[in-house]
Structure 1
Amino acid sequence: MKNKVLPIIIIVFSVLIIGVNIYFLTGKRVPMSDSATGNTAGNLHNGGLLFEMNGKVYFANPSDNDCLYSMNVDETNVKRITNMSTKLISGANGYLFFYMDSSKKSSNLTGLGGATNQHGIYRCKVNGDKLTCLLREYVDMLQLCGKYIYYQDKEKDGFLGKIRIDKSNKKVVLDELVSPACYDDGFIYYTGVKSDHGIHRLSTATDGVSDFLPGSYFYPVVTDGYIYYMNGEDNYSICRTNIRSGDTETVTKDRVDSFTMNSQYIYYAYSNGNQSALKRCNVDGSNQIVIYEAITNSLHLTSQYLYFKIYGNDDVFYHVPINNSDAVSVCTF
């Protein structure tokens, strides 16, 4: 009898061990997809302070030292996720990726948590669980490109690096401090830094680089077959180039400080001294209107609102519905 019971006990025990291992390994595994992409280029160029995913908006709350919060797209159900300031927010498959540092902390943070000194690229679940530091570096920009985060590292003279979202395969991609914000269909479009200021294209499949658009162009955004950018050769106006044909046209002759966009509208900070304003036009430049008369920055779009800040007041977000159903107002989250 004992000879029969012992093998059964061994088998049951082995199955339990395997089950426990599978449970813990599955719990630690981060979902990865080659098609994953993070925040929009326009939002990231403006600091990556808001990011929409699956009906939720994740944002750096200026009323709480830029700590990471979540809310519904209609600005209800506001919840705090982190206790330290965040920016460059992206995400996919139930996880968020962002830069976090302890230069600013929640006013509600006390004790040992308030004395920590942290910085770097972090990952967590959308509810804040499983907060993990992927990279302890000072970073100016990051973008989720498939299974990897490409990042602009300020170490020494600066470089473009990448790290897989499971914290493996860290690598220097380019010995040049270029921005990976503009990612579309397997390519990063970036402005050259060292030898020129034209737009180049990097394949995330091979990390190979090719010239794309010679000139002096900044803050590229790819939307619906066009690449939009600020033209440094023409008073920082907004231009666009058809990616297939190469045809280029001016969208607006206004001098622009920054812009963000969706598939219908371009929102931009018009720079003209006392006449500076937040403006909107169609993606082809038509139907230009003034939204708000002030020097503005930090322009971000969600599916419901345009968010922005006014120069000299970083502690407050303003917003306006993108369907023009209401006037500009101060955010109260």
Structure 2
Amino acid sequence: MKLNKKIISVFIIIIITGSIFLFYRNSIKTKYIADKAYGNTSGNLFNGGLFCEYNDRIYFSNLKDDGTLYSMDLDMLNFKKISNDRAEYINATGSYIYYSRMNHKKEKSKPSVFAFRNAGLYRINLNGRNTKSLNDNPSGLLNVYGNNVYYQHYTNEDGLKFYKVGIDGSGEKKLSDEGILPMTIDDSVLYYSGTKKDHYLYSMNLKNGSISTVFEGECYAPILIKANQNYIYFMSVSDNYSINRMGLNGGHKTLVLNERCSTYNISEDGRFLYYQVDNNKNNHIGVMDLNTGKSQNIMEGNFKNIHIAGNKVFFNDFNEKVSYYIPVGLNNTVSVFQPPALD
């Protein structure tokens, strides 16, 4: 009987140990996603990727807590601290959040022998567990599409280049010597403006790497809106950074907003354009109804980082000291966004 009890005890210990091991292995095993899933909108990524809506949560960089990664529900309640990292270019899809670690920009950061870990491309579970480095080099704008991360990769030797890596950290590959902003991807095609010999609008087939010229004009920050007849919006460098749009084939270029702008974003339904006028005369953030052409000022002054998430528009003052928000639409009711700083 005593021997049987010992055998049973050992058997129970083996089962418990095995269960713990399986749980741990499954928790760190990469969970793959649909081939055409994406992690954030083009407009949000162009504005720094500081807000990202996914599965009834908004993941964001909390300026009240030195830019660290938080989440909240769509009513801006139930705040959770996801990570102590200062996060930019946030993408959330499948089981993970992806972001560029920017801890060197923290006000409370201090020089350290571990300073090389202050930047990089990282992945973390939606619940804030199992942080994984996908690349330890400094990264810029990143865009998750399917099971790959397309991103700006930087080293002191090579400068800024365009890379991809699998969401499990495998298959890293340089795709271009240009520091392309990979913010607009649709149906395995990347739309981007050139950064070296010209600023034409190009498309890159991400399956085979082939590149085509879409429009021979000075473009910046292309945003594709499929909900509105597949228009590509962009800032026209040659037309004083006014906002224009064209078809996917580069035809029918049309002036949308005849103002010099420093940034812009568009609601996913293609209805509302938000923009920052930067002409040194009447700088302001404004909104235009793209169906009617009606526009109105939101606030006078200098603002940036315009994001759209949870049927709200978030933006920061130029010095990133105060965050504001308004409902999506023609509405001038501006509120200060004041999330808590959690331990």
Give me the TM-score of the superposition, normalised by structure 1: 0.88
More displaced stretch, 239-248 vs 74-83: 239-248
Query: Taking structure 1 as reference, are residues 285 and 267 closer, same or farther at Cα in structure 2, changes over 3 Å only?
Result: farther
The structure 2 residue matched to 1:168, chosen from 167, 170, 178, is 170
Question: What SS does the corresponding residue of 1:154 show, helix, strand or coil?
Answer: strand
- Comparing 59-68 with 285-294, greater Cα deviation is found at 285-294
**Distance of 2:24 and 2:127 partners within structure 1:** 19
CA distance in 2, matches of 1:106, 1:72: 27
Measured after TM superposition, the shift of residue 176 of structure 1 is 1.1
Q: CA deviation at 1:304?
A: 2.0
Structure 1: give runs of 5+ residues left out of the alignment: 1-14
Match of 1:233, SS state, is helix
Maintained 8 Å contact 2:117/2:136: no
Aligned-pair CA distance for 1:24 = 5.0
Give the aligned partner of residue 193 of structure 2: 191
1:75-224 matched pairs, under 5 angstroms = 75-104=76-105, 117-155=117-155, 156-224=158-226
Q: Could you give the per-residue CA deviations for residues 238-257 of structure 1, whole angstroms, max 9, x where no partner exists? A: 00001157221111111111
Contact 2:214/2:249 (<8 A) preserved: no
**Aligned equivalents of 2:135 and 2:21: distance in 1?**
27
The reply to whether residue 251 of structure 1 matches residue 253 of structure 2 is: no
Q: Does 1:232 align with 2:237?
A: yes
What residue identity is the alignment partner of 2:139?
Answer: V
Which residue of the other structure, out of 250, 260, 265, is the alignment partner of 1:260? 265
Alpha-carbon separation, structure 2, partners of 1:327 and 1:211: 42
Match of 1:314 among 296, 313, 320: 320
Per the TM alignment, residue 158 of structure 1 is displaced from its structure 2 partner at its CA by: 2.1
Answer yes or no: is the 8 Å Cα contact 2:219–2:236 preserved in 1: yes
The whole-number CA distance in structure 1 between the counterparts of 2:292 and 2:251 is 18
Is the contact made by 2:296 and 2:330 (CA closer than 8 Å) also made in structure 1?
no
The AA in structure 2 aligned to 1:251 is V
The structure-2 alpha-carbon separation of the partners of 1:250 and 1:116, relative to structure 1 and needing over 3 Å to count, comes to: closer
Moved more, 263-272 or 318-327: 318-327
SS at match of 1:103: helix
For 2:7, the equivalent position in structure 1 comes to none
* Unaligned segments of structure 2, at least 5 residues: 1-14
Alignment partner of 2:299 out of 292, 305, 315: 292
**Contact conserved, 1:252 with 1:285, CA < 8 A, in 2?**
no
Question: Runs of 4 or more off by more than 6 Å in structure 1?
Answer: 15-22
CA drift at 1:133 = 0.9
1:327 aligned residue (309, 323, 333):
333
Cα shift at 1:298: 0.8
Residue-by-residue CA offset, 1:231-273 (whole Å, 9 max, x unaligned): 0111110000011572211111111110011121110001122
8 Å CA contact retained: 2:246, 2:254: yes
How far the C-alpha of 1:296 sits from its partner, in A, is 1.1
- Contact kept in structure 1, 2:289 and 2:330, CA below 8 Å: no
Q: Distance between the aligned counterparts of 1:297 and 1:105, measured in 2?
A: 19
- Matched to 2:31, the amino acid is P
Structure 2 residue identity aligned to 1:265: F
Amino acid at match of 1:83: N
Q: Which is worse superposed, 223-232 or 30-39?
A: 30-39
How far 1:131 sits from its partner (Å)? 0.8
Contact 1:84 1:106 in 2 (8 A): no
- Which position in structure 1 is the counterpart of 2:9? none
CA distance in 2, matches of 1:157, 1:115: 19
Match of 1:53 in 2: 54
Paired residue type of 1:173: L
Matched ranges for 1:266-281 at <5 A? 266-281=273-288
Distance 1:217 1:92, change over 3 A: same
- For the residues of structure 2 that align with 1:229 and 1:325, how far apart are their CA atoms? 24
Q: Is the 8 A contact 1:34 1:146 kept in 2?
A: yes
Query: 1:301 and 2:308 equivalent?
Result: yes
Quick one: percent identity of the two aligned structures? 28
Q: Find the aligned partners of 2:216 and 2:329 in 1 and give their Cα distance.
A: 37
Query: In structure 2, what is the Cα distance between the partners aligned to 1:245 and 1:265?
Result: 22
Return the offset for 1:72: 0.6
